[in-house]
Chains A and B, each alone.
Chain A
């Protein structure tokens, strides 16, 4: 089978994976090699539904020996199968990179016999890419649960980021839907990766003390970045950290369980990202939700918003969901939902509020907060100033005052704010269409068991 035909099969098989980011590592170009990595990443294309394409995200093989209930590649499913040769995939990556189609490779795979056999093939692909084709662009590699530690180590020294997919939000669901996997097989490599990254950082710090200081972040020209060059197994271990993915809606866990789990993962394994993937019902299986009860995309969206608040706005999961209200509000975003529950903390005076307080105002993000802090040094701000600073006022104006004044038509009335936001959202073409498609006035959580 030629590569064009394989690509059709193996890209299709990888499309349900949510992660496609190349951020997190800066690597300056090295003479004689091809490519570099920039911490901010770059989206080179967008799919019809608006997902960013930044990496060549494919499976090494979809000929999987495992039988996860929700997966199109499960061994029990009848579908066309293909497997890349390691060099073929390495060449393909470089051809795409040189044409500015991608920032690098996202390498994942179905289980070809055993996790170790599969990982050896992945390691060989990355070895060709790094050592023979001299590629210094971004590589994200997926660790298959159950892979032996030496192979996880080899993969981590060739890739910029590793991820081990947690897949389901509880051990019970994993056992029910993925009979060939177990929770320990997932958390063991996560622990190994976290400790290898920490060891590398400690060594680097010790080295930099001897050299007289230096940045821990592998910026251009730093030791970590230079070590990421041609020295093979001595390069930094997974310098862009590790990530994981959780499928939501294929099993019965609520948002509170999902958010508490992701918070624990960030803390315990120092993950860079937890990706959420709304379950797409493609398989008929008695253990799965009915095929005609799609998980609302908005649930995935709200989880990402909540995750963002936890990572960058200093929110704890308990502030966003509680035992009494374990689901995120699908009608309003989690920050607005929080503000409406704590309406007594508002309005906030824009000319006096701290950065942390400003960040809790619906509609004000880190950029807006910084602009406000900088601009108010010159003089007191009014609403026209906020508009000129391009602060998004549609929501914020209900929650702030400027020199003690509120906006006339924006009262701090929780009911009214919710009503306006919901009506505005309902009127949007997006929600109108999704409502029609999903056939209900209110979204229904996936019915399961």
Chain B
């Protein structure tokens, strides 16, 4: 039997729950992503709508089951000390775009419900390894986002970034950027999966977008006056780091493209030739002048400028 589910976590976990409640032998059930999954000749197909309550129950039941007897959990509850909790791994795997994700998660959950905490030592099993690979792939995609998101400052003082990861992981990294940005207002948009994170004050929210909204957010916005100058500085800095003879030609292969995959290059300010254009004169804080006195004619700097003494620093610092 093919259970054709929606491809997100709620859809996949609901389908797992329906299969379980229907008491169909696990070997006779297969999950597929609607609408692309097609039944085989001897299969019947059943569309399973997402049911948030059922999905929550499946996830909570799974978490209880694997925590019982887990040496890291305390009193059957996860202490939260795991870098990626077992529950998070399921959600990460469900965030993958891969066509086989629903079935890999289904097979893994069946093993986990059967084996409990022991599932953690079954990483080499054919029903577990593909699931772990998916969770790892999504986790890597989260790291790519933390690395390669680039924010632009808009005319209204907020920050915006448009980023298209290979998995629907934006909700996993929203908190990271909220912690970095403090009280700065920002919006992070993933047009590919139609999700966005909005942050203002101490509120951060991940939302699903309809196509029109996603397009509107991802389109051109008026930039802050100093944005082009800051971009130009970043590109100048980046270009200045190059060591002659060690690039792709000197090395024989393109190490940079392995570490910084080409699919992200379009959004990377430092690799965009347009960033060379500073867009006008320097903003006041970067125009120079205040400290020019520090440079003497022969290029060495004197110490008689506006640097306060250590004593004043200590007094101020307490």
Number of A-B contacts (CB under 8 A): 259
Q: Could you tell me which residues of chain B, from 246 to 290, have a CB within 8 Å of some CB in chain A?
A: 246-253, 255-256, 258-260, 268-270, 278, 282, 285-288, 290
Residues facing B in A327-380 (CB within 8 A) are 371, 374-375, 377-378
The 5 nearest A-B residue pairs measured at CB:
A232-B317, A433-B252, A85-B291, A50-B255, A49-B246
Count residues of B near A (Cβ-Cβ below 8 Å).
86
For residue B83, which residue of chain A has the nearest CB? Answer: A40
Taking the closest CB of chain B, its distance from the CB of A182, in whole angstroms, is 22
Known A-B contacts A46-B256, A437-B250; A375 and B121 likewise in contact (beta carbons under 8 Å): yes
Given contacts A3-B288, A7-B240, contact A32 B183 (CB under 8 A): yes
**Contact A31:B202 (CB < 8 A) given known A49-B243, A49-B250, A389-B124:** yes
| A378 and B233 within 8 A (CB) | no
Q: Does B113 contact A (CB under 8 A)?
A: no
- Are A42 and B246 within 8 A (Cβ)? no
A49 → B minimal CB distance (Å): 3
Whole-angstrom distance between the alpha carbons of A4 and B236 in the complex? 7
- Asked if B203 CB lies within 8 Å of chain A CBs, one says no
Residue of A29, A85, A297 near B179 (CB, 8 A) is: A29
Which residues from A are CB-within-8-Å of B270?
Answer: 45, 101
**Which chain B residues lie closer than 8 Å to A437 at the CB level?**
245, 250
Choose among A16, A33, A374 the residue with the greatest number of B CB atoms under 10 Å from its CB.
Answer: A374
- Tell whether, in the assembled complex, residue B121 and residue A378 are in contact, meaning their CB atoms are under 8 Å apart: yes
Residues in A whose Cβ lies below 8 Å from that of B177: 100
- A81's contact among B252, B285, B295, by CB below 8 Å, is which? B295
- With A11-B240, A127-B313, A154-B310 in contact, do A4 and B123 touch (Cβ < 8 Å)? no
- Taking A3-B233, A11-B236, A231-B317 as known contacts, 5 extra A-B pairs with beta carbons closer than 8 A to each other, sorted by chain A number, are A42-B146, A43-B259, A98-B184, A117-B303, A388-B124
Q: Are B247 and A49 in contact (CB under 8 A)?
A: yes
B246 engages A297 (CB within 8 Å): yes
A36 to chain B: which residues have CB within 8 Å?
179-180
* Of B10-18, B39-47, B59-67, B149-157, the one with at least 4 CB within 8 A of chain A: B149-157
Which of B179, B255, B301 has the most C-beta atoms of chain A within 10 angstroms of its own C-beta? B301
Residues of B near A394 (CB, < 8 A) are none
The residue from A58, A92, A98, A123 contacting B286, defined by CB atoms under 8 A apart: A92
Give chain B nearest CB distance to A10 CB in angstroms: 8
Q: Are A113 and B303 in contact (CB under 8 A)?
A: yes
CB contact between B126 and one of A12, A99, A388 (< 8 Å): that residue? A388
Is B1 interfacial (CB 8 A cutoff)?
A: no
Contact status of A374 and B251, CB under 8 A, knowing A47-B241, A65-B300: no
Q: Are B182 and A33 in contact (CB under 8 A)?
A: yes
Contact status A4-B292, CB under 8 Å: no
Most chain A CB within 10 A, of B124, B292, B305, is at B124
Q: Does A385 contact B (CB under 8 A)?
A: yes
**CB-based nearest A residue for B290:** A85
A48 touching B242, Cβ below 8 Å: yes
Kindly list chain B residues whose C-beta atoms are within 8 Å of the C-beta of A409.
none
Task: Indicate if the CB atoms of A44 and B242 lie closer than 8 Å.
Answer: no
